[in-house]
Amino acid sequence: MSRNDRLANDERIRGEVRQGYARVATGGSNGCCGTPGAMPAREFAAKIGYAAEDLVAVPEGANMALSCGNPALIAALKPGEVVLDLGSGGGFDVFQAGPKVGATGRVIGVDMTPEMIAKARSGVAWYRGASGLDNVEFRLGEIEHLPVADASVDVVISNCVINLSPDKPQVFREIARVLKPGGRVAVSDMALLRPLPAAVEQEIVAWIGCIAGAVLIDDYRRALTDAGLVDVALTPKPEYVAAMQQFEDPLYRKIQDALPAGTVPADYFTSVDVAARKP
C-alpha cells in the first residue's frame, strides 16, 4: 500500500469511528467499544473495576459503558497533578479524576467527536455544583495531534480508545511530547494475544468496537518504547472480555461466528492495563 493509500485508509477508519461515536453520544446507538446493551452501564462499570461511590459521582449520561478498565484507579492520581484523558467521550473518567487532583490540579479531556465534546461539556455545571471544583475542561482534537502544550501534563490516561487509532505510534509520540519529565501513562486498552482472522479485521464495526484496531501486546509495548517511554508494563485484565461474553454482546457474537471452530474471543484479545513513564 502506498503512503497516499495508507493515509486515505487511515482517514476512512477515523471517519467511521467518529460517526459511530457520534451516534452513541446522541443516543442513536447503544453499541460501541463492545458496549453490552443488555447490561446497565453502572453494573458493567462495576464489573471492570469502578467503585460504587465513584459511579454516583458523575453527571447523568457520562457513563455510557464505553470502558474496558479504570485508568484513574491505576494512575494513583495525586492532588495538584495535571491529567490528560485521551478520547474522553462523555467525560466519565475526567469527572472521576477531578476530585482526586483537587482544586490545585486540572483534568483535560480530548475527543475528536464534536457530539461527545458537547455531551461532556453539558455535565460540567453539574460537576462544579456537586464537587465544588472548577478544574475540568474538554477540548476537541485528535489523539494523534493533541491540542496540548509540550511537557505540560503529569499523567496521561485513556480508556479503550488508543486501539481505535490507525496510527498508534503517532499517538505514543504525542503522549511523550505532552508529558513532563517523569510524567506517567496509565491506560486501559485492548490488545491481541494472537493475530485476528482476516474476516474479523475487515469488519469495520469491529473497529468501532475496539477489536480490529487492537495490536499484539508485544507490538504495543514496542511502540511505547520506540516513543521514548520507559518502565513499560502491560497487564492483561480478562474481566472485560468475560463480561462481554457473559452478556452476549452482539458484536462479540458476530466475532465468535467468524472465529475458527473451538476458539473463543478470549483466546484472541484482552483488556490490558498499560503503565509507562517519560524519563
pLDDT digits (tens, 9 = 90+) for 213-250: 899 999 999 999 999 999 999 999 988 888 777 776 77
Helix or strand or coil: residue 133?
coil
pLDDT at 4: 66
CA distance 107 to 78: 12
pLDDT band at 38 (very low <50, low <70, confident <90, very high): low
pLDDT at 279: 97
**pLDDT surpasses 60 at 35:** no
Scanning 92-158, the segments in alpha helix (DSSP H) are: 92-101, 114-122, 124-131
Mean pLDDT, to the nearest integer, of 97-108? 97
User: What mean pLDDT, rounded, does the chain reach?
Assistant: 87
Q: Which phi and psi (to 5°) does residue 124 adopt?
A: -65, -40
Helix or strand or coil: residue 236?
strand
CA distance 134 to 103: 7
Query: Is there a contact between 72 and 93 (Cβ–Cβ < 8 Å)?
Result: yes
Q: What is the percent of the chain where pLDDT is above 70?
A: 90
- List 238's β-bridge partners, or say none: none
**Cβ-based neighbour number of residue 75 at 10 Å:** 23
| Domain 3-277 listed as CATH 3.40.50.150 | yes
Q: Which phi and psi (to 5°) does residue 107 adopt?
A: -125, 125
Mean pLDDT, to the nearest integer, of 128-135? 96
**pLDDT surpasses 60 at 36:** no
* C-alpha pair distances (Å), 239 with each of 47, 68, 155: 7, 9, 25
Determine the residue type at 142. Answer: E
pLDDT at 41: 76
What does the domain layout of the chain look like in residue ranges? 3-277
**Cβ-based neighbour number of residue 28 at 10 Å:** 11
pLDDT at 250: 75
* C-alpha pair distances (Å), 200 with each of 25, 174, 245, 251: 25, 29, 16, 10
